[in-house]
Amino acid sequence: MLTIGKLGDAAGVKVPTIRYYEQIGLLPEPDRSSGNQRLYARRTLDRLSFIRHARELGFPLEAIRDLLSLQDSPDQPCAAADTIAKAQLLAVRARLARLKALETELERMIVQCAHGTIADCRVIEVLGDHANCAHDHHGGQEAAL
Amino acid sequence: MLTIGKLGDAAGVKVPTIRYYEQIGLLPEPDRSSGNQRLYARRTLDRLSFIRHARELGFPLEAIRDLLSLQDSPDQPCAAADTIAKAQLLAVRARLARLKALETELERMIVQCAHGTIADCRVIEVLGDHANCAHDHHGGQEAAL
DNA sequence: ATAAAGTCTCTAGCAGCTATAGCTTCAAGA
DNA sequence: TCTTGAAGCTATAGCTGCTAGAGACTTTAT
């Protein structure tokens, strides 16, 4: 069993954040020691690490809740899981496309820097360009992500 | 010249958000009409679109401020730009790696769903796995992103 | 000329943490 | 065994990055 501090260190999540996740129901209420301190099972570490990485990738907690529900109910009808997974996949691909464009542009800048000129920096244009944009900014819903 | 509403529509950013960016200094104070309404030059649209896309990719406003400073001072010493660009590039690549892992896993899940089984969902493992992880969770600084 | 739509400032609220205060529990050395 | 310092507890307040009113003024369209 892990104390909350050990769990936090292992997952790279701060202690108050863990308590916050418990409060909003993303993590189950753990057992307590005789002195009322939280004690976590090993598998909670997987769940918490998942949450942490998903957050870093920009998933809102509600989307993470959905993804976790896939794990929590492996017997639920496939249609539900499929819908969630497909929506998340679209969102992930949209992010990938724009991140790749940004990567390319940053690489270009760094190469140019090596040659002593940044006068024609186009970082702004590459991300400002709606041609790379997975959203329709014009009246549509935001992506589920 | 664009009114704030037109600018917002064009960039996909809400009007109060534009005023907020002005307040915190990400956007310059624009000219005003005789009736005190904001009037924006065309090029502000590029800047705002950039901010929007960078935010969607998860860059904090401070990182965006840095990136914009590259654009704002094309004559600054290359070393400064280079440092910023390289830090951002590392962060971008770390994100790309984990997003790709998640994409793969979601694809796998969807294929399995088509075959009627999600019993061995591994979404959590794929993101929980620190082998894919660009950070050192263990005592280091967070990435500049 | 007037009505509707857009804009103004100001303030308050929300998500997702993060830090502080004041107290209790635990573990490790003297 | 005692003690002392780190770690944990609850509760509350603050932070970032928006977002949504309220109530008054400006523009635009008919």
pLDDT at B136 over 50: no
How distant is C1' of C9 from CA of A22, in Å?
Answer: 39
Q: Are residues A49 and A74 in the same domain?
A: no
Instruction: Answer yes or no: is B124 within a domain.
Output: yes
Q: Are residues B53 and B10 in the same domain?
A: yes
Residue of B98, B90, B103, B100 whose CA lies nearest to B128 = B98
Q: Are residues A51 and A85 in the same domain?
A: no
Please report the pLDDT score of residue A132 as a whole number.
46
Instruction: Answer yes or no: is B108 within a domain.
Output: yes
Instruction: Answer yes or no: is B67 within a domain.
Output: no
Report residue A3 as tokens. Answer: 């104390």
pLDDT at A143 over 50: no
Q: How many domains does chain A have?
A: 2
Q: Are residues A139 and A82 in the same domain?
A: yes
Q: What angle do CA B97, B88, A45 make, to 5 degrees?
A: 45
Query: So what's the ipTM on this one?
Result: 0.65
How distant is C1' of C27 from CA of A5, in Å?
Answer: 15
Tell me what the mean pLDDT of segment B7-12 comes to: 93
Q: Containing domain of residue A21, as a range?
A: 4-56
Instruction: Work out the pLDDT band at A121, boundaries 50, 70, 90.
Output: low
Asked if the C-beta of A64 comes within 8 angstroms of chain B's C-beta atoms, the answer is no
pLDDT per residue as tens digits for the range A59-92: 788 888 887 887 776 666 556 667 777 877 887 8
Candidate from A28-37, A118-127, B66-75, B81-90 with smallest mean pLDDT: A118-127
Q: Are residues B36 and B82 in the same domain?
A: no
Please report the pLDDT score of residue A8 as a whole number.
95
Q: Are residues A65 and A48 in the same domain?
A: no
Please report the pLDDT score of residue B103 as a whole number.
84
The torsion defined by the Cα of A97, A102, A107 and A113, in degrees rounded to 10, comes to 170
Instruction: Answer yes or no: is B142 within a domain.
Output: no
Nearest to A99 among B76, B96, B138 (CB): B96
Give the percent of chain B with pLDDT over 70: 68
Please answer whether residues B25 and B47 qualify as being in contact, where contact means their C-beta atoms are separated by less than 8 angstroms.
no
Which of A33, A56, A79 marks a domain boundary? Answer: A56
Please answer whether residues A12 and A52 qualify as being in contact, where contact means their C-beta atoms are separated by less than 8 angstroms.
yes
Q: Are residues A67 and A28 in the same domain?
A: no
Instruction: Answer yes or no: is B143 within a domain.
Output: no
DSSP A36: S
Candidate from A2-6, A136-140, B82-86 with smallest mean pLDDT: A136-140
Q: Are residues A84 and A39 in the same domain?
A: no
Interface A-B: count of C-beta contacts within 8 A? 171
Q: Do A117 and B78 touch (CB under 8 A)?
A: yes
Please report the pLDDT score of residue B133 as a whole number.
46
Q: What is the CATH number of the domain that holds A8?
A: 1.10.1660.10
Which of B32, B59, B86 marks a domain boundary? Answer: B59
Tell me what the mean pLDDT of segment B111-123 comes to: 59
Instruction: Work out the pLDDT band at B8, boundaries 50, 70, 90.
Output: very high
- Interface residue of A109, A132, A138 to substitute, partner B, most B CBs within 10 Å: A109
Which of A38, A56, A74 marks a domain boundary? Answer: A56
Q: How far is B57 from chain A (nearest CA, A)?
A: 7
Strand partners, B31: B39
Tell me what the mean pLDDT of segment A135-144 comes to: 34
Instruction: Answer yes or no: is B119 within a domain.
Output: yes
Q: Are residues A21 and A75 in the same domain?
A: no
pLDDT at B44 over 90: yes
Q: Are residues A80 and A126 in the same domain?
A: yes
Please answer whether residues A66 and A88 qualify as being in contact, where contact means their C-beta atoms are separated by less than 8 angstroms.
yes
Helices assigned H by DSSP within A24-122: 42-56, 61-72, 78-114
Q: Using a 7 A cutoff on CB, list residues near strand D.
A: A 3-6, 8, 15-16, 19, 32, 36-38; B 14, 16-17, 20, 33-37, 55, 60-62
Instruction: Answer yes or no: is B69 within a domain.
Output: no
Please report the pLDDT score of residue A90 as a whole number.
82
Tell me what the mean pLDDT of segment B107-133 comes to: 59
Instruction: Answer yes or no: is B21 within a domain.
Output: yes
Q: Given 3-state DSSP classes, what are the helix, strand and coil percentages for chain B, each rounded to the nearest 5?
A: 60, 5, 35
Q: Are residues A20 and A64 in the same domain?
A: no
What's the Cα-to-Cα distance from A120 to each of A108, B22, B89, B99, B108, rounded to whole Å?
11, 25, 18, 30, 42
Q: Are residues A34 and A97 in the same domain?
A: no
From chain B residues 15-44, the ones with a CB under 8 A of any chain A CB are: none
